């Protein structure tokens, strides 16, 4: 199920390896829709790590909910599961093949944390600063044959244009 009011998206799923890629694509598409393309990589990495933790560690089941919410200038991504155990950041040695998920989330996010969710369960979340990609400035004028240009209106006759020598410049 996907719900999408204006700035909130929820995906309910079983945290299985085959579903994690689908959720990454959903998150990426939603962030593109919100014009938050610069956040796609960090959000996809973070949600992948959180869903992998649910897949590997959550008990009694693998069902979870992924929420993304854009509130003012913060994007919050959270994964809710039914396991009340709180995850911890591990110090993985250089040869370990796992155990770095929360450390990665801490490295790429602005903040992260865990909050209990009722008697059974928790939500692990992280935030990213939402960069405004839309400008409030008016579009820049493109000066050409139908605009006055930056220096005002100076009439030029077609004969003057035809008589002017061609010029070119090479920068380098």
Which domains can be identified in the chain, with CATH numbers?
A: 7-129 (3.30.565.10)
Give pLDDT tens digits for 4-16.
Answer: 445 899 999 999 9
pLDDT of residue 5: 43
Residue 153 to residue 147: CA distance in whole angstroms: 9
Q: Work out the average pLDDT over 14-43.
A: 95
Quick one: pLDDT at residue 6? 53
| 130 or 91, higher pLDDT | 130
pLDDT at position 26 over 60: yes
Tell me the pLDDT band of 27, cut-offs 50, 70 and 90: very high
**DSSP per-residue string spanning 2-53:** EE--TTEEEEEEE--HHHHHHHHHHHHHHHHHTT-GGGHHHHHHHHHHHHHH
pLDDT of 120 reads: 82
pLDDT-derived band at 30 (thresholds 50, 70, 90) equals: very high
pLDDT of residue 98: 72
Distance CA 50, CA 66 (A): 9
144-165 residue pLDDT tens: 444 444 444 445 555 654 555 5
Mean pLDDT of the chain: 80
**Model pLDDT, residue 87:** 87
- pLDDT, residue 89, reads 81
Question: What are the respective helix, strand and coil percentages of the chain, to the nearest 5?
Answer: 30, 25, 45
Please state at what angle helix 40-57 crosses helix 101-108, rounded to 10 degrees: 160
* Residue 150 pLDDT: 45
pLDDT band at 140 (very low <50, low <70, confident <90, very high): very low
At a CB cut-off of 8 Å and minimum separation 6, what does 24 contact?
44, 47, 48
């Amino acid at each position: 199920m996907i719900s999408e009011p204006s700035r909130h998206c929820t995906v309910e799923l079983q945290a299985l390896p085959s579903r994690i890629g689908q959720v990454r694509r959903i998150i990426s598409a939603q962030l593109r829709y919100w014009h938050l393309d610069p956040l796609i990589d960090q959000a996809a990495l973070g949600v992948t790590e959180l869903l992998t933790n649910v897949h590997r560690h959550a008990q009694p089941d693998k069902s979870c909910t992924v929420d993304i919410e854009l509130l003012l200038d913060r994007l919050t991504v959270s994964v809710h599961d039914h396991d009340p155990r709180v995850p911890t950041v591990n110090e993985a040695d250089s040869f370990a093949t796992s155990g770095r998920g929360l450390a990665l989330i801490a490295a790429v996010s602005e903040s992260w944390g865990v909050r209990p969710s009722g008697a059974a369960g928790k939500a692990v979340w992280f935030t990213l600063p939402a960069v405004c990609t839309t400008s409030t400035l008016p579009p820049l004028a493109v000066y050409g044959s139908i605009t006055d240009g930056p220096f005002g209106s100076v009439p030029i006759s077609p004969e003057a244009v035809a008589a002017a020598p061609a010029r070119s410049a090479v920068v380098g």
